[in-house]
């Protein structure tokens, strides 16, 4: 009998049945009255998800498109931007800046570690001409959670904007945009939001919109001021991805029904479960602290190929895992536990990891690693997640 396929990557993630069925309905025209209630519900749901009073703009692109939109709409060519580089996606900020004429001031951070807010403060003090801090809320390539709330306190009262990539944080771990003083928060559809790839979302604070008004857009498609005006009329500037937005409406309904507090408690428990299971197997975690709640990055010892482990997990057990990125591509296995995933999926993922790891030449001497994982899950549910 064929194994059931379990998609346990850091995106795309499994889709709830309600979302899949919603997207299977007849097509609507994006400029006709029937579409307006869809967008009205989406607007309210996105504000709830971002925990903001500001409009959250949907864009028909991947999360990288929203990153580019942030850089090109909030900053002019020649402006200096502090880019926190603690992983593959942190490096992407600098690449986007260079392509569009901004000047990246790179702040390197060891992969697997979170940025120190004091280092950010020192960089801004040393060069007051820096106009933005670009950082990942969750660095998907490493599984590190950067201290966005603390960074918001660093940028408060300064001219520099705090721009946070929340692609593997929003809908997974706490990321209250207004409370944390984030000037621009963005995310994508294919991770915590339980949707297929193809949508990105971006919101700006009043400080962010004031800066946006001073910048002449350098991209015809990504014009945030134009999109901001359109969404207030329940429209988008260009052709709306109707099917995805209808699925989003349903996904956001599920978020409201379940509640962010319960969601975060679930995600924390799954994270504790994955980390406890991997540690019990004797495997080293890439992020010893300040770890994201949506994936667990696990180092492979010398002599064991991450690619071989992922290949065996998929072929033999139907569990799709991800390897590392950049220089860690064959040294790390990433186990995703975000979106429409529960403890049974993570348990299956850990079991597949154990079997695939030993099949690839590794050794695990602990016979009760899965039991320890379940114990950690239960204890995390009882204790609840740490305070923001």
DSSP per residue, 309-344: HHHHHHHHH-EE-EE--GGGTTTEEEEE--SS--HH
Q: What are the b/e assignments for 178-206, b being 16+ CB within 10 Å? A: bebbbbbbbbbbbbbbbbbebbbbbbbbe
Angle of helix 117-126 relative to helix 148-155, nearest 10 degrees? 20
334 is known to lie in a ligand binding site: yes
* Type and span of the H or E element at 48: helix 36-50
CA distances from 371 to 209, 281, 336, 374 (A): 50, 11, 19, 5
DSSP 35: G
The span from the CA of 308 to the CA of 333, in Å, is: 10
- Structural contact between residues 181 and 201, judged by C-beta atoms closer than 8 angstroms: no
Q: What are the binding residues for substrate?
A: 334
Write out the binding residues: 334
């Amino acid at each position: 009998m064929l194994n059931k396929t379990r998609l346990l990557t850091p995106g795309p993630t499994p889709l709830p049945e309600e979302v899949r069925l919603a997207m299977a309905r007849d097509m609507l025209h994006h400029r006709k009255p029937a579409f307006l209630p869809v967008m009205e519900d989406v607007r309210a749901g996105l504000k709830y998800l971002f925990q903001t009073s500001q409009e959250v703009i949907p864009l028909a692109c991947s999360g990288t498109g929203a990153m580019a939109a942030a850089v090109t709409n909030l900053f002019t060519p020649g402006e200096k931007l502090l880019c926190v580089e603690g992983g593959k996606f942190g490096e992407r900020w600098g690449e986007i800046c260079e392509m569009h004429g901004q000047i990246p001031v790179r702040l390197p951070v060891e992969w697997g570690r979170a940025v120190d807010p004091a280092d950010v403060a020192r960089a801004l003090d040393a060069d007051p001409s820096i106009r933005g801090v670009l950082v990942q809320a969750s660095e998907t390539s490493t599984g590190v959670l950067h201290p966005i709330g603390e960074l918001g306190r660093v940028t408060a009262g300064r001219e520099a904007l705090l721009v946070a990539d929340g692609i593997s944080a929003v809908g997974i771990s706490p990321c209250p945009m207004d409370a944390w003083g984030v000037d621009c928060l963005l995310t994508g559809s294919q991770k915590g939001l339980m949707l297929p790839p193809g949508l990105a979302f971006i919101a700006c604070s009043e400080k962010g919109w004031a800066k946006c008004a001073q910048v002449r857009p350098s991209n015809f498609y990504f014009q945030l001021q134009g999109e901001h005006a359109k969404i207030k009329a329940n429209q988008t500037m260009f052709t709306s991805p109707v099917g995805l937005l209808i699925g989003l409406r349903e996904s956001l309904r599920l978020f409201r029904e379940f509640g962010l507090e319960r969601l975060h408690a679930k995600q924390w428990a799954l994270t504790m479960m994955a980390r406890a299971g991997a540690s019990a197997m004797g495997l080293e975690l890439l992020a010893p602290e300040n770890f994201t709640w949506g994936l667990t990055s696990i180092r492979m010892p010398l002599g064991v190929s991450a690619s071989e482990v992922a290949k065996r997990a998929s072929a033999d057990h139907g569990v799709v895992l991800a390897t590392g990125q950049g220089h860690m591509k064959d040294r790390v296995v990433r186990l995703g536990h975000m979106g429409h995933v529960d403890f049974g999926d993570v348990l299956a993922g850990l079991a597949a990891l154990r079997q695939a790891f030993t099949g690839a030449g590794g050794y695990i001497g602990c016979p009760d690693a899965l039991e320890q994982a379940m114990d950690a899950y239960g204890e995390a549910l009882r204790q609840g997640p740490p305070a923001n």
